[in-house]
Chains A and B, each alone.
Chain A
Amino acid sequence: MLSSLMGYYSLIFGLCISLLIIFFSVKNFKNSNILDSKILLFSFLQLVLVFVSFLGLVISFVNSDFSNETVFNNSHTTKPLFYKITGTWGNHEGSLLLWLLVLTLFIFIFLVKSKNQLKKYRILTVIFQQIIIIGFFTFLIKTSNPFNYLFPIPEEGLGLNPILQDPALAIHPPILYLGYVGSSIIFSSVLAATTLNYINNDWAKHIKGWILISWIFLTLGILLGSIWAYYELGWGGFWFWDPVENVSLMPWLALTTLLHCILVLEKRSLFKSWIIILSIATFTLSMCGTFLVRSGILNSVHTFANDPERGLFILSFLFVLIFISIFIFFVFHKSDNKKLSPIFLLSKETSIVINNWFMMYFLSVVLIGTVYPIFLDVISSQKISVGPPFYHKLIIPFLIPFLIFMAIGPRLKWIKSELKDKLSLAILLIISVLLSLFIVRNFETNYLLNSILIGSAFYLFFITVRDFFSKKTQRLSQNIAHFGFSLLILSILFNSIFSNEIITNLKVGESYKDDDLEIVFNDLTKENKKNYVLFTGVFSIKDKSFNNILKPELRIYNQPNIITSEADIKITLLQDNFITINTVKNEDYFNVRYLIKPFMLWIWVSVLLIALGGLISLFNKKHEE
């Protein structure tokens, strides 16, 4: 009760402070040469107020205060404490409050960290950021208030969706939001810098840190979501091209491209338009993701409440931001075509332009695949969903040249360069292609495309590995990230080529046998847990290299009444053995899925390596010369 009230009024005050900050910023913009300390003070106050509000919601959740509608809808007294707390952001209202908290936190950090920058630039960034913050405040208070009061007070809550009751998913949203919201700072900053014509080397050095931070969090956030999907959804896949996954991938692609461009701007005055458009795109794509997920316009695993009013609000807000950006870009940005410094064909700049176009291509494929069903539905009322084959067909062929450019590009120097040690590059290419031909042929998956693709991934792999050992390591961070990427592509390819799947229906006591595998369904046990009934199947599995007992689970939750199936996965360096069971209606048969997924662990490790590359670049400025 009290915590809800406290939370609600903090929100209102927080909104008022936004208006005060804008007022002081406008006043301060022309008046003096130093930043008004009131702006910093009020930003801090706003952060505290939003934090109090967030804390209020957390307390309501912990105390199971069902007079609060959000708590009633998403919590239950029998839920473990950990999930009561994480349940705070496991719903639409609470997650928006978390967004707002991160927004206010970041603008405060930005103010503290940007002391060496131009005063006008700092103030304008604050104003743009406050416009976004006001948008979120209004959205929260008007359409998705987390502190709605319920009377009479219900005795018991409706419970949190069981598939969200999972440790990976508890930290997935906050990390992803740090990435998304970090891009809002880049967005505000780029608008401010464009207005002041301040897009230059200094600005690039300053904003690079923010780009790296958002990029690292976005990468880790996507990774966590993917790991969760792998073991919780029980399909044994880690990426489904689900619209919600796509909307997190799109800002990532834009941000990755931006990261490469900003490296150029640090050294040379190039790619200014690219940078402005990419910064705007990253944030608007994040917002667009929020819109697509929260409005219910798309259907996906993230079943947040769908309410057209909310959708309309985010949609209008998103387009207001887009039109502000278009206005600023076309009015203030003067492209300096005339004094353009020359770009030579064989140079780092060219390789980054090539990278940009590849990334833009991948981005448009994902974007079209995601929004095409909406367009089709509206224009011709046909309902379709775009599945993995679409993405695979359009992305895989272009991945081959992309990987090769990725291997060669970083070896080039700025301005003008010559490709050295051509011989060893060529030899490595031949080795890679031979190796991949050997692998693909040996395992009777006789696809030309696969062998070329594996070959090019191996090429990048070998070249980055060799660079670790060469004495003139130019950029450790870049090399680690690119090495991680080659490892990622290789693991994904081997995973998809060598995966094996067996689906069968078994009763307790029955067994499945074929030439080299035996699965015996030994036993099924029942146990009562705090908020669910647990059935555990005991399977013994034998094949040439594997002899183990696996225990997949079925959980029947009490509130809401949902059955989830928890896979049992035996993880080793080379492969995962994955088993899930599912009930079959009205039968004592269980649907058993047994999967052998090679190199699963390496998919996660390689994404961590990619993020590690970013982290090294963030902390280790010495290497970046």
Chain B
Amino acid sequence: MKNKTITTIVIFFFIFVFLIFYKGLNNSNIYKPSNNENKIIPKFSAYSFFENKLINSENIFNQKKFYLLNIWASWCVPCRDEHPLIMSLKGNDKLEIIGLNYKDNNKNAKKFINDYGNPYSIILLDKDGTKAIELGAYGVPETFLIFENQIIKKYIGPLNSELILEIESFIK
């Protein structure tokens, strides 16, 4: 008797698995990496650098303002070059600069901010690099210009003075 129940359960279980796989076959699973320009930024949550609080991305990019999301790390040499330029953008009330500290060591990152200044209103932490992947970034430095949750422009590599002018013209 017991044996029969087990048999029935096993058979029904496998029929169920069969049906799921059968249905799954008809779903396409081709994944295309998306081009993130003019796309809505993905939602993520990350710890903040100074307060170590968990912050949701929705609570950051929610105002009617331009946001400049800059991915940086203290070990990244080009970041050091572009940092003064980002500092020069600070103080514009139509623009809020957000930092994403990528695969970095806290001590070195703090020293970097102390030495070169802090242009960011918030710095988020990305210890393992997964936030950057979600955003579709290749590495550091990379900068995203965001307006109304949309990525308007994506800059790979360090910013230079021409690109800063471009960003300023966007904001105007």
**Cross-chain contact of B23 among A378, A513, A585, A591 (Cβ < 8 A):** A378
Complex contacts, A503 vs chain B, CB 8 Å:
102-103, 129, 139-140
Judging by beta carbons under 8 Å apart, are B11 and A326 in contact?
yes
Judging by beta carbons under 8 Å apart, are A513 and B77 in contact?
yes
Judging by beta carbons under 8 Å apart, are B77 and A308 in contact?
no
Complex contacts, A297 vs chain B, CB 8 Å:
21, 24-25, 27, 29
> B-facing mask of A140-164, CB < 8 A → 1, else 0?
0000000000000000000000000
Residue of B nearest to A584 (CB): B156
Judging by beta carbons under 8 Å apart, are B139 and A591 in contact?
yes
Complex contacts, A136 vs chain B, CB 8 Å:
none
> Which residue numbers of A lie inside 8 Å of B, CB to CB?
291, 295-299, 306, 308, 311-312, 315, 319, 322-323, 326, 330, 374-375, 377-379, 381, 501-506, 510-514, 582, 584-585, 587, 589, 591, 593
Q: Give 7 pairs: A residue, B residue, CB < 8 Å, sorted on A.
A: A296-B29, A308-B25, A319-B18, A381-B27, A584-B156, A589-B156, A591-B139
Report how far A503 CA is from B73 CA in the complex, Å: 10
Residue of A nearest to B139 (CB): A503
Report how far A351 CA is from B7 CA in the complex, Å: 29
> With contacts A312-B22, A374-B20, A582-B138 known, is A501 near B78, CB below 8 A?
no
Judging by beta carbons under 8 Å apart, are B77 and A323 in contact?
no
Residue B99 at the A interface, CB < 8 A? no
The 7 closest A-B pairs by CB, nearest first: A503-B139, A374-B24, A589-B157, A311-B25, A378-B23, A330-B7, A514-B75
Report how far A510 CA is from B77 CA in the complex, Å: 9
Judging by beta carbons under 8 Å apart, are A315 and B25 in contact?
yes
Residue of A nearest to B78 (CB): A505
**Cross-chain contact of B140 among A375, A379, A505 (Cβ < 8 A):** A505
Complex contacts, B141 vs chain A, CB 8 Å:
505
Report how far A322 CA is from B12 CA in the complex, Å: 12
Report how far A582 CA is from B137 CA in the complex, Å: 13
Report how far A587 CA is from B129 CA in the complex, Å: 22
* A374-B20, A584-B138 given; 18 more Cβ-contact pairs under 8 Å: A295-B25, A299-B30, A315-B18, A319-B14, A319-B18, A322-B14, A330-B6, A375-B20, A379-B20, A503-B129, A504-B75, A505-B140, A505-B158, A506-B77, A510-B77, A512-B77, A584-B156, A589-B157
By secondary structure, the A interface counts as mixed
Residue B114 at the A interface, CB < 8 A? no
Q: How far is the CB of A190 from chain B (nearest CB, A)?
A: 17
Complex contacts, A514 vs chain B, CB 8 Å:
74-75, 108
Q: How far is the CB of B44 from chain A (nearest CB, A)?
A: 15
Residue of B nearest to A298 (CB): B29
Report how far A593 CA is from B75 CA in the complex, Å: 13
Report how far A319 CA is from B15 CA in the complex, Å: 9
Judging by beta carbons under 8 Å apart, are B157 and A587 in contact?
yes
Q: How far is the CB of B38 from chain A (nearest CB, A)?
A: 16
Judging by beta carbons under 8 Å apart, are A378 and B24 in contact?
yes
Which residues, 86 to 144 on B, are CB-close (under 8 Å) to A?
102-103, 108, 129, 138-141
**Cross-chain contact of B3 among A296, A330, A377, A501 (Cβ < 8 A):** A330
B7, B22, B24, B141 — most chain A CB neighbours (10 Å): B24
Judging by beta carbons under 8 Å apart, are A299 and B77 in contact?
no
Complex contacts, A312 vs chain B, CB 8 Å:
22, 25
Complex contacts, A582 vs chain B, CB 8 Å:
138
Report how far A306 CA is from B29 CA in the complex, Å: 10
Q: How far is the CB of A264 from chain B (nearest CB, A)?
A: 24
Complex contacts, A501 vs chain B, CB 8 Å:
103
Report how far A117 CA is from B124 CA in the complex, Å: 69
Residue B59 at the A interface, CB < 8 A? no
Complex contacts, A584 vs chain B, CB 8 Å:
138, 156-157
Report how far A584 CA is from B78 CA in the complex, Å: 15
Judging by beta carbons under 8 Å apart, are B76 and A504 in contact?
yes
